[in-house]
Structure 1
């Protein structure tokens, strides 16, 4: 129990038994089985993937809907708020470690692996004789020619888009704290639109790179690391945009106040994390 200056938090909210964990388990199991069947050529696998995806979507709407209703009803006290904050903090930390692993893979590939395989010693003759260790054109004898991505153009534009989205989200937060619903709504709407625009530019960039620059997942270590890092980041931008869209809908329905708005804060934390990751990506993938 939280005790501060002799004042006790009223209670710690314990939710009623929920069906959503078992529903989510069924959805994940269906996705896993569907993926396994699909990779082995069974037509039923596609139906399993579809069923699993629909169940997961249903679970997300239902479970988060329950949480929203409980929050709006005032069921959550200060202790629950602290639990949510710690939970979101640890989740973002896990995402930091997730991307740290991929940046580590990029560092290992560029600094250690490629030079070693491309050397003149035993490793080169044993693993890949004829390998060219000149980054970003670290290729073998069977790799087709490709072009690398430049920092100017769409990557620079997307950098400005995400930096601007961070500013508009901060303005929306200031509006929420100040009780200015118009500033909150417009700032949040601008952030959602900027996130959507980022995804559209990235989709165009991928299409251009794949069809006109011959840059694919088979384009040596450069192609693999490029799509791995930017692809996972794009997925996180999509998730963040969905989260902010949900926050916008809640704002339009009158949710959140200057004192109670952790749902908004959690989405904002996640979005700022996505911004920082992109800055690192822009430097280490596009510039260097």
Structure 2
């Protein structure tokens, strides 16, 4: 392919990873159904391994294009930032749908659950225990991530690495506490509408936290390898935007589901 273009944009080379990932996602869904209905999890973990491997190789190609080949110009970065904003907006509407279901069920509880919200025999968590601690942890992680970004903008790489590592540790601490909370939960997923909505909303948020931890971990590895400069670090910015989005969603979740229902 010729490298002489009359535009400042980067046309990616032919890559097998998008179509491979698409088929992997389809197979992952089918294997998940097999796991649920036939209690056979081997195909699920095989597909998960293939998906993670192909994603890793796709990310490797993107890192090569941006860091070593210099294809990510300012115009390309501007479009990538816009794409990340659209992705976060789509994630926002996903959570809006979950909150919509929650507030709809709360404002008009059906007769099947006794016209009560939370339904009878649902013992709610103490919002001033693990949920409050998790809120403080996520707020602190947002502060440390902002510290890391500010250090990178001032070319203070050592301080940026330390504060980013603190953010990752706090995220892992949050996930561990949420796992403990699930183990000690006095109700489960099939305990009425409340149980379904509670575990769907908090569970998907927890999944987003895990994805954010992976996102930040790759950012940390690239930061150690000096892939970023004070003016060229879109990977860091995208990860920080995603993490702050997860923080804000948790605050809404804590207020509406934990604190309000106590």
Same-fold status (TM-score > 0.5): yes
1:179-215 CA distance string (max 9 Å, x none): 0011100110000000000000000011011xxx2x1
Match of 2:124 among 132, 148, 160: 148
Task: State whether structure 2 residue 50 is matched by structure 1 residue 55.
Answer: yes
Match of 1:199 among 164, 175, 190: 175
Distance (whole Å) between structure 2 residues aligned to residue 91 and residue 149 of structure 1: 32
Give 1:125's aligned residue: none
Distance (whole Å) between structure 2 residues aligned to residue 231 and residue 39 of structure 1: 17
Distance (whole Å) between structure 2 residues aligned to residue 40 and residue 274 of structure 1: 32
Gaps of 5+ in 1: 1-8, 119-127, 140-144
Task: State whether structure 2 residue 211 is matched by structure 1 residue 239.
Answer: yes
Deviation at 1:39, TM superposition (A): 4.1
Following superposition, which runs of at least 4 residues in structure 1 exceed 3 angstroms of deviation? 36-40
1:260-284 CA distance string (max 9 Å, x none): 0010000000000000000001100
1:107-186 pair list within 5 angstroms:
107-112=103-108, 114=109, 117-118=110-111, 128=112, 131-136=113-118, 138-139=119-120, 145-186=121-162
Give 1:283's aligned residue: 255
Match of 1:93 among 89, 109, 116: 89
Distance (whole Å) between structure 1 residues aligned to residue 39 and residue 232 of structure 2: 50
Distance (whole Å) between structure 2 residues aligned to residue 218 and residue 23 of structure 1: 35
Give 1:83's aligned residue: 79
Gaps of 5+ in 2: 1-5
- Greater relative contact order (Cα < 8 A, sep 6+): 2
8 Å CA contact 1:81–1:262 kept in 2: the answer is yes
Deviation at 1:40, TM superposition (A): 4.3
Give 1:11's aligned residue: 8
Deviation at 1:38, TM superposition (A): 3.5
Give 2:100's aligned residue: 104
The TM-score, its normalising length taken from structure 2, stands at: 0.92
Give 1:31's aligned residue: 28
How many residues were matched structurally? 255
The TM-score, its normalising length taken from structure 1, stands at: 0.84
Task: State whether structure 2 residue 246 is matched by structure 1 residue 250.
Answer: no
Deviation at 1:10, TM superposition (A): 6.3
Deviation at 1:252, TM superposition (A): 0.7
